[in-house]
């Protein structure tokens, strides 16, 4: 809710900006026009653009000081980017066909749009925005440095904030750019994609190595620590969970790290908990009444005034040694149970009997085991536990566990987004680097055989077709995510 309130506030700010911008421009307010000209600001509908030439000298010096290295660097980048072009185009076509013909294969790499609030959590919008800034800056630095090496003037650099998504850009002297040899033009055009590839690989190396660094500072593989409990979480309260609690199990499912935490949540979500109970305990606690059907179609054997009791059904095969349904206090049952029989054939050790609570399909009754050997008894939707708890596998009594988590999450975003930007930009599509790259490749390979007009027609047709495929695929992906 707080995120959505923030988005509404940002929208209101944009509304005020566009109103005053239109008002002052209509009135030809000189101080305001001079302010815009001096700062390089430009305000549009849900968009703020900033340009400056303050970094031109920096890029010029950097380009000339590392001339030999950069020449080799961008030559490698040229061939690496061109090798990615057919791969990216194939991935797009494959993803498009997969979305329409419902092809489902395990471990398949496809192209999907990343849209906050649709297929990305709105709570991670900050990671997404910061990643876009990092990846776009690195991308544009590639174009700028490659342009400097080819003596193409750098007019300005800037940032374009589209609502809350910032993107960096550079403006080059196009007349000088397209007067170069084809290979030199391709070096400049491919430099951004090359930098995105390198950034993604570098982030992956850091992501692979960093856990070893964190393991020397934090305790790992001994559970997960609670780093945040949502305000609407059903686990809040004196008998619930709080920040700093270490979870080591759910029922008899042991938790060592984030992966085992997710697996335990999945297991408890797909199978109702079964508890192995002592016969004497059952007889002493049973408060059952004749079995009845509730209004929602479920069976019940407890009085309505027994709010903390659950109706349990006997699951053991063979001769019934106990009543088929008993009414027992849920907390006592879960706390006393040390062995479980959630999986078929619902077998229990000698002198113990398997009982399962009769609860609605989307709910369950289970215990969350903490490292201090205390239990949190929970009854309700399992998804609420996963959705309202944020955990970390990095445990330390004094150092915040959010540091490694946020670092690793940001690196994951950089890996995916940077490689994604490289893949999308190299595709021959309107408004992408690939639009110009495929045009230059056409001039190199087809002009002598087909002539200028036919080559331009082929390039135009191909670019338009790929653009149509990309736009249609993105629209289809959004539609599938929403509906």
Q: What distance in Å separates the CA atoms of residue 346 and residue 336, rounded to the nearest whole number? A: 18
Assess if residue 51 is contained within a domain. Answer: no
pLDDT band at 442 (very low <50, low <70, confident <90, very high): very high
Mark whether 265 and 357 lie in a shared domain. yes
Mark whether 394 and 264 lie in a shared domain. yes
102-111, 190-199, 434-443, range with the lowest pLDDT: 102-111
How many domains, in total, are found in the chain?
A: 3
Per-residue pLDDT at 106: 47
Q: What distance in Å separates the CA atoms of residue 421 and residue 370, rounded to the nearest whole number? A: 42
Domain boundary among 342, 369, 398: 398
* Residue 328: closest CA among 356, 347, 351, 362: 356
pLDDT band at 260 (very low <50, low <70, confident <90, very high): very high
Mean pLDDT of 436-442: 94
Mark whether 301 and 440 lie in a shared domain. no
Mark whether 334 and 448 lie in a shared domain. no
pLDDT band at 232 (very low <50, low <70, confident <90, very high): confident
Supply 362's token pair: 């989307």
| pLDDT digit string, tens, across residues 332-366 | 889 888 888 877 777 788 888 889 888 887 888 99
Mark whether 436 and 383 lie in a shared domain. no
| pLDDT digit string, tens, across residues 162-176 | 887 888 899 998 888
pLDDT band at 247 (very low <50, low <70, confident <90, very high): very high
Average pLDDT over the chain, rounded to an integer: 88
| pLDDT digit string, tens, across residues 369-426 | 998 888 899 988 988 898 889 999 999 888 888 899 899 999 999 999 999 999 999 9
318: pLDDT strictly greater than 70: no
Assess if residue 219 is contained within a domain. Answer: no
Domain boundary among 368, 398, 428: 398
Assess if residue 319 is contained within a domain. Answer: yes
470: pLDDT strictly greater than 70: yes
What is the residue range of 7's domain?
2-45
Mark whether 202 and 244 lie in a shared domain. no
119: pLDDT strictly greater than 80: no
Mark whether 89 and 160 lie in a shared domain. yes
241: pLDDT strictly greater than 50: yes
* First and final C-alpha spacing in the chain: 22
Assess if residue 50 is contained within a domain. Answer: no
Mean pLDDT of 16-36: 87
427: pLDDT strictly greater than 80: yes
Mark whether 350 and 468 lie in a shared domain. no
Stated pTM of the model: 0.81
Per-residue pLDDT at 268: 87
Mark whether 14 and 102 lie in a shared domain. no
Mark whether 185 and 243 lie in a shared domain. no
Assess if residue 218 is contained within a domain. Answer: no
Domain boundary among 353, 371, 398: 398
Mark whether 288 and 428 lie in a shared domain. no
Assess if residue 356 is contained within a domain. Answer: yes
Looking at beta carbons, which pairs linking 476-483 to residues 24 or more positions away fall under 8 Å? Answer: 476/96, 476/99, 476/100, 477/99, 477/112, 477/113, 477/119, 478/113, 478/115, 478/118, 480/99, 481/115, 481/118, 481/119, 482/118
Assess if residue 27 is contained within a domain. Answer: yes
46: pLDDT strictly greater than 90: no
Mark whether 351 and 250 lie in a shared domain. yes
Assess if residue 131 is contained within a domain. Answer: yes
């Amino acid at each position: 809710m707080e995120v959505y309130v923030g988005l509404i506030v940002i929208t209101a700010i944009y509304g005020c900006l566009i109103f005053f911008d239109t008002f002052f421009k209509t009135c030809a307010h000189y101080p305001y026009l001079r302010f815009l000209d001096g700062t390089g600001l430009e305000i549009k509908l849900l968009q703020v653009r900033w340009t400056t030439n303050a970094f031109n000298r920096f890029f010029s010096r950097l380009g000339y000081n590392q001339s030999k290295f950069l020449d080799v660097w961008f030559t490698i980048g040229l061939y690496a980017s061109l090798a990615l072009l057919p791969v990216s185009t194939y991935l797009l076509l494959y993803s498009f066909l997969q979305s329409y013909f419902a092809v489902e294969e395990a471990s398949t790499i496809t192209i999907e749009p990343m849209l906050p609030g649709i297929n990305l959590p709105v709570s991670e919008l900050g990671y997404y925005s910061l990643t876009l800034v990092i990846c776009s800056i690195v991308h544009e630095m590639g174009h700028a440095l490659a342009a400097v090496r080819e003596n193409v003037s750098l007019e300005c650099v800037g940032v374009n904030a589209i609502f809350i998504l910032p993107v960096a850009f550079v403006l080059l002297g196009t007349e000088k750019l397209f007067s170069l040899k084809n290979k030199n033009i391709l070096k400049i055009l491919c430099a951004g994609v090359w930098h995105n590839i390198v950034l993604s690989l570098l982030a992956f190396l850091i992501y692979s190595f960093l856990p070893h660094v964190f393991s020397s500072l934090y305790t790992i593989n001994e559970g997960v620590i609670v780093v945040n409990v949502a305000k609407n979480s059903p686990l809040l309260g004196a008998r619930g969970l709080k920040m700093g609690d270490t979870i080591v199990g759910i029922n008899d499912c042991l938790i060592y790290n984030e992966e085992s935490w997710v697996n335990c949540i999945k297991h408890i979500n797909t199978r109702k908990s079964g508890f192995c109970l002592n016969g004497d305990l059952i007889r002493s606690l049973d408060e059952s009444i004749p079995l009845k059907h509730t209004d929602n179609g479920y069976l019940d054997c407890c009085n309505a005034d027994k709010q903390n009791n659950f109706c349990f059904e006997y699951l053991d095969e063979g001769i019934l040694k106990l009543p088929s349904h008993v009414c027992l206090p849920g907390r006592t049952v879960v706390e006393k149970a040390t062995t479980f029989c959630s999986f078929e054939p619902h077998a229990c050790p000698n002198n113990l009997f398997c009982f399962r609570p009769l609860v609605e399909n989307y709910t369950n009754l289970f215990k969350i085991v903490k490292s201090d050997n205390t239990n949190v008894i929970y009854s309700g939707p399992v998804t609420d536990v996963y959705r309202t708890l944020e955990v970390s596998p990095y445990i330390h009594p004094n150092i915040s566990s959010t540091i490694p988590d946020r670092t690793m999450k940001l690196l994951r975003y950089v890996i995916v987004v940077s490689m994604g930007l490289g893949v999308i930009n190299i595709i021959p599509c309107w408004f992408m680097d690939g639009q110009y790259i495929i045009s230059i490749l056409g001039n190199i390979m087809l002009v002598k055989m087909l002539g200028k007009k036919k080559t331009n027609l082929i390039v135009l047709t191909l670019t338009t077709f790929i653009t149509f495929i990309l736009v249609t695929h993105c629209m289809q992906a959004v539609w599938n995510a929403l509906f």
